[in-house]
Structure formats: structure tokens, C-alpha cells
Structure 1
Amino acid sequence: MGFDNPSRERIKEILAGAGNIAVVGLSDKSDRTSYMVAEAMQKRGYRIIPVNPNAENILGEKCYPSLSDIPEPVDIVNVFRRADQVVPVAEEAVKINAKVFWLQLDIVNEEAAAIAQDAGLEVIMDRCIKVEDAILHPRQP
């Protein structure tokens, strides 16, 4: 049996209830997709926590070298890493008791999904968090 993402209605609920979103692989380069997505989410009112061991601050937020270094609860772990690099991220998301493990567009890893799901995390794969938020929470004119 293959993986199925939660329904759009459930994704809408997840985003509506999200406080802290840890962004693993967030680049400090403004021309990178991870930066543009995180910046857009921040502008829409989400709290972004950058996870990048090679930067001190991104988007005005302190960077952490790993999920385990974040000193506060994380609701969503949003991942911008290659599919072959996400299993350790899933394991760490479980260790910090995140609620949701979200792999960005074009990132699919069934093993990582199973690790997260088996520990009770909701899993979303191959979806852009920014696009989902724009569709599910459109701005009022």
C-alpha cells in the first residue's frame, strides 16, 4: 500500500494550528527556493525557525545546527533536503516530538515517512507548504 498525503481539509487544519515551523535546509541565499518559501510563510504570519549549521541568522531568526538544538517546541518540520538525506531528519523530528513531518515538492522518501508515521507524526510529502497555504488560506482582498 502506497503513501497518501492527508486530505486538503486536514492540511488546512495543520497549517491553521501551526506555531513554529522548523525549516531544515533553509538557505541564507535569497535566490534559493527554500529562502523564498520560508520568507513567504514568514510574511503570512508563521514563525520560521531556520535549521542550517552554516549560518547564524536567516530572515531575522537565529539559526540552529540541528532540530535537536531548537530550545522550543516545533509543530512542523519542513524539509528542503534531497530525498536520500531525509531519513535522519525524520528520526530527529521524532526525537523532538514534532507534530508534522513535511517534505517539500519533489521530495519523497517512504522510509522517512514510515519512521515519522510510526512515531505518531503526520506526514506530508511532495507538496510545497507555501502553495498549500496560498490555496487553503487565500488572502482576503
Structure 2
Amino acid sequence: MSLETTVPEHAVRTGGALSWQPPTARQRQAILSRTQSVTIVGASNNPARPSYFVATYLLSSSRYQVNFVNPRLDELLGQPVYPSLADVPGEIDLVSVFRKHEDLPEVAEDVIKTGARTLWLQLGLWHEPVAERAAEAGLDVVMNRCVKIEHARFAGGLHLAGFNTGVISSRRQGKP
């Protein structure tokens, strides 16, 4: 990995400091379009957890190579689970993080070490110092957005009115 990094286009340099800016919808779409692999850090085998739902969606509805990281699991949805990012084989493009806020600085450092291109913090996760550190290292950073929702939206599986299930209404359709 080169010591010289490219600052993502949505990061703004003012003076010598880097100011992270959220990527636009077009920039998020470009990130997801170029991504080949997604690694979920904090993957869970509990079907009620958001990481499980995202994992099932990505495995069934995307072209991505999906990897999982959780030191407490060996397998998830028929796939191996790795104890750390350093143990994931091959190149890592996008790291989707489902961890506590206080864990994010350490996770970001691990992501930077892997040479990943994107750090993606899921809904509810926002940490500007982490975003600035990762952007300074050349990573694209997305915060407080669900990779599943964004993928579905750009792939045509999520419409403005909701999921691609037709009309969404609280009224009953027809009388029996």
C-alpha cells in the first residue's frame, strides 16, 4: 500500500485539515457499483438483528462476494465467519460495520490496514473523527445508512413508496 493516498471526492480539504462530507446519492451509487466484495463486521446469527437481515439480502440479491467477521461465530448462512478483518481472504472492497459506537475507532484502524476502499457505518452509527481518519487514509466513508437499503434502492428493489411489492395501502383490497 502506498503512503500517498487519494482523498475521496466527497471529502473537502480546508487549509491543511480534512473535512468529511457525506457522499451524495450518485456517489453512494458509484461506490456500490464498483464494489466487488462486502465484509460485514459484527455479523450476527440472530435473525432479529439487522446484520443478519442485511447478510441474507446481500447473499440472495446482490452480486457481491460477502464475508463475515465475528470472533464468536464459525459459520453464518453456510459461509465461514472470520475472527478479524485481517483473517478475511482476498481483497476487501467495502466494510459494513455493525458495532457499538465506542468500537468504531479501532474498527476503522483495522479497515484502513486491510486496504479496503470503503468504510460503511450502518444506520444509527455516526462518528466524525472516524470518518475524517478513514477519509484521510483514502477511504470512501458512508455513515448512518443501510447498505441493504441503498443497494435495493439503486438496484430497483426499493421505490419511493417502499419495497417493490406494488401498492402500499392501509385499506383492504376488495371485499371477500
TM-score normalised by length of structure 2: 0.75
C-alpha distance after superposition, 1:70-123 (max 9, x if no partner): 121000010001111111110011000000000000101112112211100000
Determine if the alignment matches structure 1 residue 59 to structure 2 residue 77. yes
Correspondent of 1:47 among 65, 68, 87: 65
Residue number in structure 2 paired with 1:128:
146
Runs of 4+ in 1 over 2 A off after TM superposition: 1-4
Determine if the alignment matches structure 1 residue 111 to structure 2 residue 133. no
SS of match in other structure, 2:148: helix
**Structure number with higher strand proportion:** 2
CA distance in 1, matches of 2:45, 2:80: 12
CA distance in 2, matches of 1:23, 1:136: 20
Does the CA-based 8 Å contact 2:101-2:127 persist in structure 1?
A: yes
Determine if the alignment matches structure 1 residue 20 to structure 2 residue 37. yes
CA distance in 2, matches of 1:76, 1:7: 17
Question: Where does the alignment leave 5 or more consecutive residues of structure 2 unmatched?
Answer: 1-13, 158-163, 165-176
CA distance in 2, matches of 1:29, 1:105: 18
TM-score normalised by length of structure 1: 0.93
Larger radius of gyration: 2
CA distance in 1, matches of 2:118, 2:151: 15
SS of match in other structure, 1:36: helix
Does the CA-based 8 Å contact 1:102-1:123 persist in structure 2?
A: yes
Moved more, 92-101 or 37-46: 37-46
What fraction of aligned residue pairs are identical, expressed as a percent?
Answer: 36
Following TM superposition, by how much is the alpha carbon of 1:36 offset from its aligned partner in structure 2, in angstroms? 0.4
Following TM superposition, by how much is the alpha carbon of 1:3 offset from its aligned partner in structure 2, in angstroms? 4.1
Q: Alignment length, in residue pairs?
A: 141
Does the CA-based 8 Å contact 1:24-1:77 persist in structure 2?
A: yes
